[in-house]
Structure 1
Amino acid sequence: MYKKLLKRAIDLIIALIALPFWFIILLIIGPIIYFQDKGSIFYNAPRLGENGEVFKMYKFRSMKLNAPDLRNEDGSTFNSEDDPRLIQIGKFIRKTSLDETPQLLNIIKGDMSIIGPRPDLPEHIKMYEGDEERKLEVRPGVTGYNQAYFRNTVPWKERIKNDIYYIDHLSWWLDIKIFFKTAKSVLKREDVFVTDDIKKLNSK
């Protein structure tokens, strides 16, 4: 009942309530991005959605226009506090997770849920092994079990295992715990960027 119906209803209600507040963020952040690096204030990232369908995930643009696509050894996207591709405000909106707030629109459209596995790049579907494709059984989330408890401290394959754990234990109570754990992590700005220590750990 919760997984099939109530979860979507709760997502939609919360997203519509939050929408006016997001417009205030848009009015503040949008012009700053534009004047710092002339161009679109949004970055529309293609991502894998439920059942493997590709959708455009909305983010505030934190990088310079035409920045090169850098990847980690495991194929995940490169993420560093000292990333030279970031515009001035880019580091701030990443640390505060404000760059993710346009995904409110994805929730309203039905592409995403508030809580769920973080969506992978479309090309990652060819890299799934065993039952890893199971992470596509539900809508991806703005935050999720792995994002809340591990964030960027574990390699990509480990994140998929955590995503499948979430799917197997999905409940309203788990979603509530993930929501508040995420809020705590965002406020404390924990593990936002991949550090050198984490890179070494992930490469072992």
Structure 2
Amino acid sequence: MYRKWIKRLLDIISALIILLLLMPILLLLMLLVAVFLGRPVFFKQTRPGYQAVPFQMIKFRTMTDAHNAEGELLPDAQRLTRFGKFLRATSLDELPELWNVLKGEMSLVGPRPLLMEYLPLYSKEQMRRHEVKPGITGWAQVNGRNAISWTEKFNHDIFYVSHYSFCLDIKILLLTCKKVFIREGITQAGSVTAEKFTGQGNNNTWAVMESHRA
């Protein structure tokens, strides 16, 4: 049985090793973000974690703070620079989330933490994604990421909650390395990232194929 304390121990050990190995890259990225995108170099946002308890997720910023003449922020597409797109395409912007892993707010593998504003829109079944800690990567990310529909994402999230295991986590981590290398599923058609979740078209019928099992 894949006990939570084993998963937590693996998270801590893995996050520490990755941080130590990538420390030179992290320092370089901090400098480049400050030069090309400005300060602060980190983007912090409140997201729902385990049992939907809020926490501050940290990432490298990928957008500028450009405003229009009225003082309003420009649309995301205009504030996302070429360097920002590179950070997203390579998932380098996600590296600071290793700190969230060390703090116990996230896991290496789990459903991605979404926006707080989405919580009231979830069905009872969709809320099950909060039965485990959110992850830096997950089953939905290696099965389409932002290129698939919200219904498909939630299907994959619930599948993971129902079937997560050591072997499935390892499979997801290996597939994540492959997806990052080929830069697949980064954006959704018509959006610089993914379309906004509105709760429309959701139902409690879930058809997650058992063939997805690792």
- Bin for the TM-score computed over the shorter chain: 0.7 to 0.9
The whole-number CA distance in structure 2 between the counterparts of 1:39 and 1:88 is 17
Partner of 2:41: 41
Larger Rg: 2
Partner of 2:130: 136
Q: Match of 1:2, SS? A: coil
Q: Which of 147, 154, 160 does residue 160 from structure 1 map onto?
A: 154
Q: CA RMSD in A?
A: 2.2
Aligned-residue offset at 1:65: 1.9
Partner of 1:150: 144
Q: Match of 1:120, SS? A: coil
Partner of 2:168: 174
Aligned-residue offset at 1:156: 2.1
Instruction: State the identity as a percent.
Output: 39
- Runs of 4 or more, structure 1, over 6 Å off, are none
Q: Does 1:95 align with 2:98?
A: no
The whole-number CA distance in structure 2 between the counterparts of 1:52 and 1:69 is 30
Preserved contact between residue 119 and residue 141 of structure 1 (Cα < 8 Å): yes
Preserved contact between residue 36 and residue 88 of structure 1 (Cα < 8 Å): no
Preserved contact between residue 148 and residue 188 of structure 2 (Cα < 8 Å): no
Q: Match of 1:24, SS? A: helix
Q: Structure 1, residues 119-175: CA drift from partner, whole Å, max 9, x if none? A: 111111100113111100000000000001121122223211210111111111111
The letter of the residue matching 2:19 is: L
TM-score (norm 2): 0.82
Q: Does 1:86 align with 2:80?
A: yes
The whole-number CA distance in structure 1 between the counterparts of 2:45 and 2:25 is 20
Q: Does 1:55 align with 2:49?
A: no
The letter of the residue matching 2:106 is: M
Greater CA drift, 33-42 or 97-106: 33-42
Preserved contact between residue 153 and residue 194 of structure 1 (Cα < 8 Å): yes
Preserved contact between residue 101 and residue 108 of structure 2 (Cα < 8 Å): yes
The letter of the residue matching 2:141 is: Q
Partner of 1:73: none
The whole-number CA distance in structure 2 between the counterparts of 1:188 and 1:175 is 20
The letter of the residue matching 2:55 is: F
Q: Which of 104, 107, 120 does residue 110 from structure 1 map onto?
A: 104
Q: Match of 2:146, SS? A: coil
Greater CA drift, 27-36 or 141-150: 27-36
Preserved contact between residue 43 and residue 60 of structure 2 (Cα < 8 Å): yes
The letter of the residue matching 1:177 is: K
The whole-number CA distance in structure 2 between the counterparts of 1:37 and 1:99 is 13
Q: Match of 1:59, SS? A: strand
The whole-number CA distance in structure 2 between the counterparts of 1:195 and 1:124 is 21
Change (3 A) 1:153 1:37: closer
Partner of 1:75: none
Gaps of 5+ in 2: 68-72, 202-214
Aligned-residue offset at 1:179: 0.8
Aligned-residue offset at 1:69: 8.7
Aligned residues, how many?
Answer: 190
The whole-number CA distance in structure 2 between the counterparts of 1:6 and 1:38 is 39
